[in-house]
Structure 1
Amino acid sequence: MINVMIADDHALLRQGLKQLIELEDDMTVTYQASDGEEAYKVAKEFPPDIILMDINMPHINGIKAAKMLKDESQKYKILFLTIYNDREYLLEALKIGVEGYILKDADSDELMKAIRIIYNGGIYIHPSLVNEIRNLNDDDYKKDLTERELQILSLIAKGYSNKAIAKKLYLSEKTVKNHVYSIFKKLDVKDRTQAAIYLLKNKNIYNTNT
């Protein structure tokens, strides 16, 4: 069961999201928060699998709350659900290292898909915003990744865990962990989300379909 926490300052929206999420057989809403400060406190005490978080909230906004949680531990998986479709907010979210960014005009199927992808270790960016990532130019050259490292990086971007990668590539989990460590070091990234975003930004120079 995927345990979801909803953080949004609009009670009607929280209730509507709760009803939609709990229509799914594999999801439940465990907690709700009305602002970023409450979301931070509740998530620390009762860590959910996914935090579905608005950006524009009183007291502490979603960006700050997400940063506070991520600074403490990368275990928190955060999906921003927001009206903001501009580059500035998206880049700030990616800088923090959140796992997803989806707009409030998305349909329920897309939202459920995003939740499942993030729960399984992947990242999800609203389709209309993907080009904003690809147009970034701070990493516009090819890193010195081996063919095996690139293969593993592609699977990371698709949400595969180390165990699943090991099974798919007929490797030991320890070998996969060593490759992942090397990938992070070469790309100068801290986690799987940042590594996946790097590949998404540079998929054209790696000739990958990720």
Structure 2
Amino acid sequence: MNKNLRIVCIEDDEILRMGYESILSGVEEFNFIKAYASYDLARKSLETDNPDVVLLDIQMPGTSGLQALPLIKRALPNTSVIILTVFDSSELVFEALTLGAGGYLTKDSSSSKIIDAIKEVSTGGGAMSTNVARIVMRSFQKNLNSPLTKRETEILERIANGQTKPQIANDLFIEQETVRSHVKNIYTKLDVNSKYEAIKRAKERRFI
């Protein structure tokens, strides 16, 4: 494994930034370069920082993590990016991986998991939290002939997990009215009249 891996963290929560710096600075193989509160603050310095690995939050002021990800990969194609976020929706996971993320961890990951993930992506591997890996595995087990769109599937999965419309709207950064519209389309496509029927039918047909 490479020695002295150069690491940059982009995270808007000051306590988390300090925590990551404290944890990672104590690892012999790591060289913690700097922590930034947003991509907009990091942008001008990233190429000079020349990190091997960037820990990147999704929800930040200004440019979001998902918006920043392709910009980072374009400027630093040899840099590995690990998404480190509270959000673990399938849509966000797959968008991040499609955009070039080398790993996707949730913020409840242990210190050892984060350290192992950095080492893993630095050698070309992928790193995921257990719950994120489960999301990826489930995607391969679904019925590919589902009439539901990716967004409708995501919303129905969240409903099945007990989330309310306001919670779904907040997590997916969309309006509640948009969620209601998707739910209406789900009911129509599945020919049902309630969320319980929708969940039952979707699970029976492996749409979720």
The TM-score by the shorter chain falls in which range?
0.5 to 0.7
| Partner SS state of residue 125, structure 2 | coil
Q: TM-score, normalised by structure 2?
A: 0.62
Structure 1 letter corresponding to 2:83: F
Q: In structure 2, what is the equivalent of residue 123 of structure 1? A: 126
- Give secondary structure in 2 for the equivalent of 1:57: coil
Tell whether 2:78 aligns with 1:94. Answer: no
Give RMSD over aligned pairs.
Answer: 2.2
Unaligned 5+ runs, structure 1: 141-210
Residue 129 of structure 1, CA deviation = 1.4
User: Which structure would you say has the larger Rg?
Assistant: 2
Quick one: which amino acid aligns to residue 51 of structure 2?
P
The offset of 1:119, in angstroms, is 1.1
**Superposition TM-score, scaled by structure 1 size:** 0.62
Q: % of aligned pairs identical? A: 23
Checking the alignment, whether the CA contact within 8 Å between 1:4 and 1:48 is kept in structure 2 is yes
Q: For residue 131 of structure 2, what is the amino acid of its counterpart?
A: S
1:70 to 44, 49, 73: 73
CA distance in 2, matches of 1:22, 1:69: 23
1:31 offset after TM fit, Å? 1.5
Deviation at 1:10, TM superposition (A): 1.5
* Deviations 1:108-155, CA, capped at 9 Å, x for gaps: 0111000100111111111111122223359x9xxxxxxxxxxxxxxx
Q: Spell out, residue by residue over 1:148-196, the C-alpha distance to the aligned partner (whole angstroms, 9 max, x if none).
A: xxxxxxxxxxxxxxxxxxxxxxxxxxxxxxxxxxxxxxxxxxxxxxxxx
Q: Which residue of 2 aligns with 1:83?
A: 86
Q: In 1, are the aligned partners of 2:24 and 2:115 still within 8 Å (CA)?
A: yes
| Matched residues, number | 141
Q: 1:9 — aligned with what?
A: 12
- One-letter code of the match for 1:78? V
C-alpha displacement of 1:45: 2.8
**Residue 114 of structure 2, aligned match among 86, 93, 111:** 111
In structure 2, give the amino acid aligned to 1:47.
N
